[in-house]
Amino acid sequence: MSAIQKIFQIYGQQYLDLYGDRMPQSHKKTIQDITQCRSGSFGTILYGCDECQTIQPVPCCCGNRHCPTCQHDKMDQWLQKQMEKLLPVHYFLLTITLPQELRDVARSHQRIVYAAMFSCAHETLRKLARDKRFIGSTRIGYLAVLHTWGSMLQYHPHLHLVIPGGAVSEKGDQWISSRQDLFIHTKPLAHIFKAKFKDAMEKAQLIEKIDPSVWKKQWIIDTQAVGKGQNSLRYLSRYVFRVAISNNRIKSIEDDAIKFTYKDREKNTWKTTKLDAMEFIRRFLQHVLPRGFMKIRHYGFLNPNSPFSIDKIRELISFIHDVIHGLLAEIPQYKKQEIKCTRCGHALKFIAFLKPPRWGPSG
């Protein structure tokens, strides 16, 4: 049992009793799913061992994207898939952070605000990429990921973007490379993004809920050249399928309090703090995303519907195939872990899936 699951099993019902009448359904479902993960409530898979003839039942996980147990094995698969799309160019990591003054509105209107963050970032990047001082084409491509938490589980919505350094020309017949040390300047990016985001809030009729001073301050946007794309993807993969806090950071669950470690960014050191169990659950649940909301998005030539395939773009970049294959050969291949027999250690084979009692007979 994971530490997160233990917390929800001990304190989840108490939290529901206190706040259930004003909780979003997605929060209630997250509590229920994590509490019942691998308990048999989502079905059981029967495996058999040909060596010792053992039948071994394995309870199914809940599949909730906020459950640490279910997200643990997805990182390597995702990283492998993204690595296969890498281009032989320099890469940039761009981070766009929503100011503190906007966070109450964002938390109360998550679907609207999160969607605006993605769309405004894309419109801003295309606008600046068109400028010949930077790229000279709107046909850029990148991966964007939404994160909403800080190290202490505080609400801290921001976007991470992994961007190949260049673009396909508007005619689609050549690759235009950016500078190795610069994709676009962050100052105009922050200015344009802020203006577009303000327009989005006005259209959503949320502008009156926002402190007007936020439109007069400088917004935080950071960009850095990261060399090969592997570097940024490996960094990002540690967070893409991680929930708001990992199990190994939780040090104790006792006296109705949760003790866990967090990183002090200013001093670059790890420290320990303690939260009341109800406050811990509240902070955890504020990072539960709206149902069906996509937190990972691919834009431009990295979008699956792009008319330009990765192979076509590699041809435009005019790299010899040996170099490309050499680049891909550096990527560690993901191997699906086999389920081993607990008695003799041999690989188990699938026999059947048993439905949970609540599903009833098939009709």
Distance from C-alpha of 248 to C-alpha of 254, rounded to nearest angstrom: 16
pLDDT at 64 over 80: yes
The residue with tokens 């919505």 is: 157
pLDDT of residue 95: 94
For the four alpha carbons of 301, 306, 309 and 312, in that order, the dihedral sign comes to negative
The model's confidence at residue 341, banded by pLDDT at 50, 70 and 90, is confident
The model's confidence at residue 327, banded by pLDDT at 50, 70 and 90, is very low
Asked if 94 and 223 touch (Cβ cutoff 8 Å), the reply is: yes
Considering only residues 300 and 266, tell me which one the structure prediction assigns the higher pLDDT: 300
Sequence-distant contacts of 134-137: CB under 8 A, at least 24 apart: 134/178, 134/182, 134/183, 134/184, 134/185, 135/166, 135/167, 135/176, 135/178, 135/183, 135/184, 136/167, 136/169, 136/176, 137/167, 137/168, 137/169, 137/170, 137/176
* pLDDT tens-digit map of 121-167: 999 999 999 998 899 999 999 999 999 998 899 999 999 999 999 99
Q: Measure Cα distances from 4 to 33, 75, 273, 292 in Å.
A: 12, 19, 16, 23
Mean pLDDT across the chain:
87
pLDDT at 70 over 50: yes
pLDDT of residue 92: 92
Mean pLDDT of 227-235: 74
For the chain, what are the domain ranges? 3-66+340-359, 75-244+287-329
The model's confidence at residue 69, banded by pLDDT at 50, 70 and 90, is confident
The model's confidence at residue 310, banded by pLDDT at 50, 70 and 90, is confident
pLDDT at 50 over 60: yes
- Residues whose CB is less than 8 angstroms from the CB of residue 43 and which lie 6 or more positions away in sequence, other chains included: 59, 60, 353, 354, 355, 356, 359
* pLDDT tens-digit map of 113-134: 999 999 999 999 999 999 988 9
The model's confidence at residue 353, banded by pLDDT at 50, 70 and 90, is confident
Distance from C-alpha of 188 to C-alpha of 133, rounded to nearest angstrom: 12
pLDDT of residue 107: 94
Element (H, E) at 343: none
pLDDT of residue 323: 46
* pLDDT tens-digit map of 177-219: 999 888 999 999 999 999 999 999 999 999 999 999 999 999 9
- DSSP letters, 219-231, are P-EEEEEEESHHH
